[in-house]
Amino acid sequence: MCGIVGYIGNGETQQILLEGLKKLEYRGYDSAGIAVFTEQGLEVTKSKGRIANLEEKLEGTPLLGSVGIGHTRWATHGKPSDVNSHPHTDNSHQFSVVHNGIIENYLDLKEELIAKGHVFVSETDTEVVSHLIAEEYDGNLVEAVQRAVKHMRGAYALGVLTSHEPDKLVAVRYASPLVIGIGEGENFIGSDIPAILEYTRNVYILDDGDMAVLTHDGVELFNLEGKSIAKDIVHIDWDLVTAEKAGFDHFMLKEIYEQPKAYRETMLGRVSEDGKSVDLSKELEMNDEYIRSISKVHIVACGTAYHAGLVGKSVIESLARIPVETDVASEYRYRSPIITPDTLVIVVSQSGETADTLAAMREAQRNGARVLAITNVVGSSVAREANDVIATWAGPEIAVASTKAYSSQLIAFYLLGLHLARVLGTKEEAELTHIIEGLTALPEQVESILEQASVLKQVAESMSHHTSLFFIGRGVDYAVAQEGSLKLKEISYIHSEAYAAGELKHGTLALIEDDIPVIALVTQEGLFEKTLSNITEVKARGAHVFAVTNQGFEAEVAKSVDEVFAIPKTLPVLTPALAVVPLQLISYYASLALGHDVDKPRNLAKSVTVE
Ligand code: F6R
């Protein structure tokens, strides 16, 4: 997804912009560009492809100046190309804009501007913004931006420069994240904190409708009516090193190996020191009386986070006995969901900025529901707008393919399920303690799976030459199968499908042919026999079956399959937090064997801030 960086000060502007953009590469992008006010005026260099292409262009003709903006674009309006890349300018080349988000009414605005004589060169909505600001300008950039945004509908984080006022950088936010970095004699803007963290740890986090005017010496904050506003400076105490690879070949592998730590962090302070109880009441605003009034839960999320929600459904239903529906966020709003004041809506989002999830959450709040967010990014839009937040504390996740964020979302669901069950009295104390014991054992159990990575590497390599494969499972195994399949698709580009094992014979069996790989999850003790008979069905049609089961059952399962991998024994409800790990490793090694860009798979972005 798009990234913004901006700088004003006496440092090496071009270098600061490029370094900032590199820190945002993990968000996914297809082109990059910078604009700097130089002795020649406002100069723009941009390039389709990687930041390295942009650097090459700048090599002979660097942009020297003390104010600039930069952008990594992930195409929405118009294909990836030099001309569609940001920054965009107006016809006079006096105004330059970088933009994250989407201007929904840009075609209407464009028509009006064309009628006034503006000529457009790109297909983007952002170019309209630069023309609109130029049109509104009458000697004061801040006022021009304020007037321009009043015409705009949609989402935007903007960085704006004009050669008329080269001592100024203006930033404004609406529904797309933007932070302001406060330095000494220099100031910064960034769509994400990593873009500026190398230079400052003191930031303002803009809210919707906030505007910042940056000069060398300071930052002034306004609302869109031009009224001065005050904000607390937030000190960022996490380190950029945590966002680096730390010796692993890829961020994804590092993040897979960070899962034991992530599990511990998610549980920290939430499981009592004696390991006997879970209490979230200190961090949740919702009280016990509200919890007792909940009649149903809706879990809403996208992609991998949605898959965590599928496990969450089973956790909440089995522990707290509250009925749960799960929805992908892009569908939720449009199916007229029955949301009542006693519906608890749980949104799950690693980034906390996913547009569909945010929109679903706002719809739920408009309908009077309370929203609880499970997110990894404290300070994200989702976290700030939700009524309650459970932070997953998994640390920054850089690889596009989510691993530790997903599994720590599972831990958050376990904690929530245990909390609800305690308040509602749906489980005996002893049973809850037993589950908590299982929960706290998970980090070490994941470590023991990671020690067997080489076995999974071989499995992945042998599967990597296939063009299609299947994941099957029943109950929560089916939820994990869906996540395993998504992970494999997104980074290895191998076609795969996840099926509820009992559904195969209703159509999918037609696709099973000689040697096709099937990854079967067989971890739910009550469903063993049923799943094994489904495995027999695919084996009979020539499939090569790799099964993930629990320790102690390998010998039994081995009789029906070609290869078995055993995860440590845990309670059935907790198995997803272990069973997903071998699937993550298989995807990683398959992608590696095929020579793909593991951390930045094609066509995908880390944070999807458009609907
Ligand atoms: C896949 C993946 C995506 C995200 C989805 C939602 O590995 O990461 O499917 O889970 O785009 O993103 P968040 O969790 O940031 O809302």
Q: Which of 2, 487, 539, 600 is catalytic?
A: 2
**Which strands form 343-349's sheet, in the order they lie side by side?**
324-328, 296-301, 343-349, 370-375, 388-391
The residue written with tokens 């298989």 in the block is 586
| Distances 461 to 253, 564, 593 between C-alpha atoms, Å | 16, 16, 6
| Distances 182 to 4, 155, 203, 519, 599 between C-alpha atoms, Å | 16, 24, 6, 51, 31
What separation, in Å, do the N-terminal and C-terminal C-alpha atoms of the chain show? 12
Number of H helices, E strands in the chain: 19, 24
Distance 95 CA to ligand 1 centre (A): 35
Distance 349 CA to ligand 1 centre (A): 7
Strand pairing of 388-391 and 370-375?
A: parallel
Q: Sorting pLDDT into bands at 50, 70 and 90, what band is 154?
A: confident
Q: Sorting pLDDT into bands at 50, 70 and 90, what band is 605?
A: confident
Distance 355 CA to ligand 1 centre (A): 11
Taking the CA of residue 375 as reference, the ligand 1 atom at the shortest distance is: 14
Percent of the chain with pLDDT over 90: 86
Known catalytic membership, residue 302: no
> pLDDT for 200-232, tens place per residue?
999 999 999 999 999 999 999 999 999 999 999
| Distances 164 to 157, 418, 451, 594 between C-alpha atoms, Å | 22, 60, 61, 52
> pLDDT for 166-188, tens place per residue?
999 999 999 888 999 999 999 99
Q: What local confidence, expressed as pLDDT, does residue 28 receive?
A: 65
Q: What local confidence, expressed as pLDDT, does residue 594 receive?
A: 97
**What's the whole-model pTM score?**
0.76
To test the pocket of ligand 1, the residue of 26, 349, 356 to mutate (highest count of ligand atoms within 8 Å of its CB) is 349
Taking the CA of residue 607 as reference, the ligand 1 atom at the shortest distance is: 15
As a whole number of angstroms, the distance between CA 319 and CA 309 comes to: 15
Q: What local confidence, expressed as pLDDT, does residue 79 receive?
A: 80
Q: Which of 46, 254, 487, 606 is catalytic?
A: 606
Q: What local confidence, expressed as pLDDT, does residue 243 receive?
A: 53
- Listed range (84-93, 247-256, 303-312) with the worst mean pLDDT: 247-256
Distance 605 CA to ligand 1 centre (A): 9
CB-count exposure of residue 396 (10 Å: 0-12, 13-18, 19+): buried
Contacts of 376 (CB under 8 A, 6+ apart): 349, 350, 351, 352, 391, 392, 393, 394, 395, 397, 405, 408
As a whole number of angstroms, the distance between CA 321 and CA 493 comes to: 39
Q: What local confidence, expressed as pLDDT, does residue 241 receive?
A: 60
Q: Sorting pLDDT into bands at 50, 70 and 90, what band is 70?
A: very high
The residue written with tokens 């004003």 in the block is 8
**Quick check: helix, strand or coil at residue 146?**
helix
Q: What local confidence, expressed as pLDDT, does residue 238 receive?
A: 72
Where b means 16+ CB within 10 Å and e means fewer, 321-360 reads ebebbbbbbbebbeeebebeeebbbbbbbbbbbbbbbbbb
Q: What local confidence, expressed as pLDDT, does residue 263 receive?
A: 96
Task: Give me the mean pLDDT over the 284-300 stretch.
Answer: 97
Listed in sequence order, the DSSP H helices in 97-194 are 106-115, 126-136, 141-151
The residue written with tokens 């906390």 in the block is 352
Q: What local confidence, expressed as pLDDT, does residue 80 receive?
A: 83
Asked if pLDDT for residue 244 goes beyond 70, the answer is no
Q: What local confidence, expressed as pLDDT, does residue 1 receive?
A: 60
Write out the E strands in 410-555: 468-473, 495-500, 517-522, 544-550
Residue nearest ligand 1's atom 8 by CA = 402
To test the pocket of ligand 1, the residue of 402, 482, 598, 604 to mutate (highest count of ligand atoms within 8 Å of its CB) is 402
Asked if pLDDT for residue 282 goes beyond 90, the answer is no
Task: Give me the mean pLDDT over the 532-540 stretch.
Answer: 95
To test the pocket of ligand 1, the residue of 299, 351, 353 to mutate (highest count of ligand atoms within 8 Å of its CB) is 351
Distance 5 CA to ligand 1 centre (A): 23
Asked if pLDDT for residue 379 goes beyond 80, the answer is no
Which of 432, 405, 406 is CA-nearest to residue 419? 432
Q: What local confidence, expressed as pLDDT, does residue 309 receive?
A: 98
Asked if pLDDT for residue 386 goes beyond 80, the answer is yes
Task: Give me the mean pLDDT over the 394-408 stretch.
Answer: 93
Taking the CA of residue 382 as reference, the ligand 1 atom at the shortest distance is: 16
Asked if pLDDT for residue 246 goes beyond 70, the answer is no
| Structure tokens, 83 | 């001309």
Contacts of 273 (CB under 8 A, 6+ apart): none
Distance 337 CA to ligand 1 centre (A): 22
Q: What is the mean pLDDT of the chain?
A: 94
Residue list, ligand 1 pocket, CB within 6 Å: 302-305, 349-351, 354, 357, 401-402, 490, 607-608
Q: What local confidence, expressed as pLDDT, does residue 195 receive?
A: 93
Where b means 16+ CB within 10 Å and e means fewer, 177-188 reads bbbbbbbeebbb
Q: Sorting pLDDT into bands at 50, 70 and 90, what band is 402?
A: very high
| Distances 314 to 308, 479, 507 between C-alpha atoms, Å | 10, 9, 26
Q: What local confidence, expressed as pLDDT, does residue 301 receive?
A: 98
- Domains located in the chain, CATH noted: 2-237 (3.60.20.10), 243-449 (3.40.50.10490), 453-593 (3.40.50.10490)
Residue 154 phi, psi dihedral angles, 5° rounding: 135, -150
Taking the CA of residue 304 as reference, the ligand 1 atom at the shortest distance is: 10
> pLDDT for 335-364, tens place per residue?
999 999 999 999 999 999 999 999 999 999
Distance 307 CA to ligand 1 centre (A): 10
Q: Sorting pLDDT into bands at 50, 70 and 90, what band is 27?
A: low
User: Which range, 78-82, 101-105, 369-373, has the best average confidence (pLDDT)?
Assistant: 369-373
Q: Sorting pLDDT into bands at 50, 70 and 90, what band is 9?
A: very high
The larger pLDDT score, comparing residue 36 to residue 103, is at 36
Torsion over CA: 506, 508, 510, 513 (sign): negative
> pLDDT for 559-597, tens place per residue?
999 999 999 999 999 999 999 999 999 999 999 999 999
The larger pLDDT score, comparing residue 333 to residue 77, is at 333
Asked if pLDDT for residue 55 goes beyond 90, the answer is yes
To test the pocket of ligand 1, the residue of 255, 332, 350, 489 to mutate (highest count of ligand atoms within 8 Å of its CB) is 350
